[in-house]
Amino acid sequence: MSMKIKHQNNEFGVGDKVSVIQKIREGDKERTQIFEGMVIAIKNRGNNKSFTVRKIGVHNIGIERIFLLQSPFIEKVKIIKKGTRGVRRSKLYYTRGKSPTEVEEIYTRAFLREKRKKKNVSSRK
C-alpha cells in the first residue's frame, strides 16, 4: 500500500487532484483527452502499477477510471492540487459517499499541516 507514485518526474499521491492527459485512437484518427479528478487509490504491484482517479460528473454522478502507470497512452499527469499531507489512509474509497464539500476538507487539512510545518521550522531557527 503506497501513498505516492512517480510518472515522468512527477510524483503524486493519494489525495492529490490530478489531470491525466491521454491519447485516444478512434479508427485512423488520434486525439487527446483530459480526465481531471482526485487520486483515491494506488496499486503498486511490480510492473502492474496503477492508480484510480475519481471525479464528479454531470448531475453529481461519480466517475472513476483506473490508469495503468506504464501505459503508452498516458502522455502526462499534471498535479493541480496537493492533498497527500491531508490524507490519513492509503485508499480513499470512503469519499464515494461524501459530498464535494466534505472531500474539500482533505485539501484544507493538507494546507493547515503545511502551514504548521513551516511555522515550526521557522521557529527553530
Q: What residue spans define the domains of the chain?
A: 4-124
The whole-angstrom separation of Cα 116 and Cα 69 is 33
Q: Contact 74/5 with Cβ under 8 angstroms?
A: no
Q: Which residue has the cell 475519481?
A: 54
pLDDT at position 69: 87
pLDDT band at 123 (very low <50, low <70, confident <90, very high): low
Residue-wise pLDDT tens digits, 88-121: 788 888 888 888 788 788 778 878 887 877 777 6
Q: What's the predicted TM-score (pTM) here? A: 0.80
- Partnered with residue 11 across adjacent β-strands are 6
Copy the grid coordinates of residue 29.
Answer: 484518427
| Other Cβ atoms closer than 10 A to 36 | 13
Q: Contact 95/37 with Cβ under 8 angstroms?
A: no
Q: Residue 67 burial (CB < 10 Å; 0-12/13-18/19+)?
A: buried
DSSP one-letter string for 61-120? -EEEEEEETT-TTEEEEEEEE--GGG--SS--GGGGGS-HHHHHHHHHHHHHHHHHHHHH
Q: What is the CATH architecture assignment of 4-124?
A: Roll (2.30)
Residue-wise pLDDT tens digits, 54-90: 988 888 888 999 999 888 899 999 999 887 777 778 8
